[in-house]
A and B are shown apart, each in its own frame.
Chain A
Amino acid sequence: MSVLTATGVEVTYPGAGRSVRAVAGVDLAVEPGEVLGLVGESGCGKSSLARALVGLVAPSAGTVTFGGEPVQPLRRRARPVAQRRLQMVFQDPYSSLNARRRVGDQIADALRLAGTGGRRRAPGAVGSLLERVGLDPAMQTRYPHEFSGGQRQRVAIARALAADPTVVVADEPISALDASAQAQVANLLVGLARDEGVAVVFISHDLAIVRQVADRTAVMYLGTVVEVGPTETLWTDPQHPYTRALIGAVPVPDGSGRLPADLPGDVPDPAAPPSGCRFHPRCPVATPECPTWEPVLRMQGPDHAAACLLAPDRTEVSP
């Protein structure tokens, strides 16, 4: 059974005179032990979706369930115990950690709040969490500034692991890091899924990394999922023109001197999305019909769906 599901999720931010629908109806299901990649340009709503998945913002429509129960949006009250195993890792470990407290104390806080350590938690609990993320347990007496960016992100992951999560939603967890630190942190998150059965939602604008780590990939454009499927299928046989454009824009480090393909235009203002298919103004293969029809996700193959009028008609995906 899916451990985390989103059904018809919309996230709307009220604005002066006009509200912005950052997420415009997303259905997703995350299975235990899988890495689900979520990609798209900035402004596509992937961070808003991530926040809705963990309950940091309340969806304006639709529901998110975790372990079969609806996720309660975070309010002033403490989180329901059942939801503590739904954790998030943020992009910037410089701001997600308290600069003025020792990292060991911050992880101990997480253990205490998660209730897994109890008042008399095992003295080695903090150290073993640091070891799990590949850091020296002796580092727990240090402050965040004494760590490199990659190490700091590991500390943030260790803190999330304190709650013994079954789902970790990681919003751009490696984009602030160096190339080699990126690989280390990405491998660490993949290891959680492979070895411990944690479901990982891996959000990134870096498609190459997502290709490497994700079992399935969902591509978002302007608040909607336009294609979702097994990562390799999506890369080798993308069905949505936007997916093709994104993949073509990734520079390949092969020394060939080939410039990445261009996708002109910007993500439109989500407050005034184009009619019909939201991608049609930038789409290289748009037809006159595209502005008039909003395409729904259609099955393209096993577990592979795309929302494009030009993608071959198969059965509609049931939500």
Chain B
Amino acid sequence: MTGPLLEVSGLRVRLPSRTGAMLPAVDGVDLAVSPGEVLGVAGESGSGKTMTALATLGLLPHGARTEGSIRLAGREILGLPDKQLRSVRGREVAMVAQDPRTALHPMLSVERQLTEHLRHHHGVGKRAARDEAADLLDQVRIPDPRAALARYPHEFSGGMRQRIAIASALAARPSLLIADEPTTALDVTVQAGILRLLDRLRRERGLAVLIITHDLGVLSSIADRLVVMYAGRVVETGSTADVLGSPRHPYTRGLLDALPEGGTTTMRPIPGSPPALGSVPAGCAFHPRCAHAEAGCTAAVPPLLQIAPGRATACPVDPFVRPEVPTEAPA
């Protein structure tokens, strides 16, 4: 492996408010995804996960300002003119969004939407493209894929449309797939099938996946590494096993405690809600909701500090250090 396929560093995204002020939505995010790797981004809504993804694709809302660097296969793509960006996007990156209603063109047949990329970007013939498209539909579990190709998006249910949207993203044979809550609206059985498909593609094709979701179960099953975001910043990162197995940031711990688990314990939700854009608390943005907050937490934004190779947390209090585990094994 010759280094990461996608390398985001110091990314800042500011969005215009109604009054014209620029509000920070993403505030200095670093992340990297290598070929064949699945990187998970976790956090509640408003944490900046989706804006990070959209910035990577150059698809931010109108008026947004970005700073920092986004390198795709070594090439800086932040600030590329639209036309050049489009050719990079079409060949290298595909995105699956949460809402299947907007991902597909309502007036084009499924075949057209699944074969366009292959025919234009990869020069595949019509029949071969159709075969590949049918195969993809089969892999995302659309019954009778050949017949489905001739149909239009409105003829499918929401769950099926999402699966077609996933197939259409994969049809472009991307090297990087950005998936924003791709399975949130789907049944667990279908979700299991999609996660297995993504896992196979990354092993067989070296597909790099940036998967964004608040579902830690999904991330646990497929992601190699995790980035936990809160209020536009990365608060914890590390291997999935480390981050979920022994979380070091109170926010990560809070997300895990909010989850149901077997037995008699009740879910302990994090009190309050994430801050709105433009009203991020001073210091550590999480301190008003944090059970471990100390006086110093309001003073300055805590930096993301490495605590072990490949493992970092932005909590100076670090309340979950377990003395019996002196150092984490390198990931």
Contact = CB atoms under 8 A, between A and B. Distances in A.
A264 B188 contact: no
B244 A263 contact: no
B220 A254 contact: yes
A249 B185 CA distance: 15
B230 to A, nearest CB: 11
A251 interface: yes
A181 B192 contact: no
A261 B240 CA distance: 19
Given A42-B187, A251-B218, A260-B188, A208 B260 contact: yes
Given A178-B214, A208-B217, A187 B245 contact: no
B269 interface: yes
B323 to A, nearest CB: 21
A253 B269 contact: no
A180 B269 contact: yes
Nearest to B222: A259
18 contacts: A151-B273, A179-B44, A179-B215, A179-B216, A179-B255, A180-B44, A180-B270, A181-B269, A187-B267, A206-B188, A208-B261, A211-B262, A212-B260, A212-B267, A235-B262, A251-B220, A260-B191, A266-B141
Contacts of A150: 273
Given A180-B270, A208-B217, 10 more contacts: A179-B214, A187-B267, A205-B188, A208-B261, A249-B189, A249-B191, A251-B217, A257-B240, A263-B189, A266-B141
The 10 closest A-B CB pairs, nearest first, are: A212-B260, A255-B244, A251-B217, A183-B269, A253-B216, A183-B267, A260-B192, A249-B188, A249-B192, A255-B241
A164 interface: no
Interface string A234-261: 0100000000011011111111111111
Interface of B: 44-45, 141, 143, 157, 159, 185, 187-193, 195-196, 199, 214-222, 224, 240-245, 254-256, 258-262, 266-270, 273
Interface string A14-26: 0000000000000
A174 to B, nearest CB: 11
B189 A178 contact: no
B221 A207 contact: no
Contacts of B258: 179-180, 182-183
Contacts of B157: 42-43
A264 B220 contact: no
B245 A254 contact: yes
B296 to A, nearest CB: 25
Nearest to B241: A255
Interface string A181-219: 111101100100000000000000111110111000000
A248 B224 CA distance: 21
A212 B273 contact: no
B196 A262 contact: yes
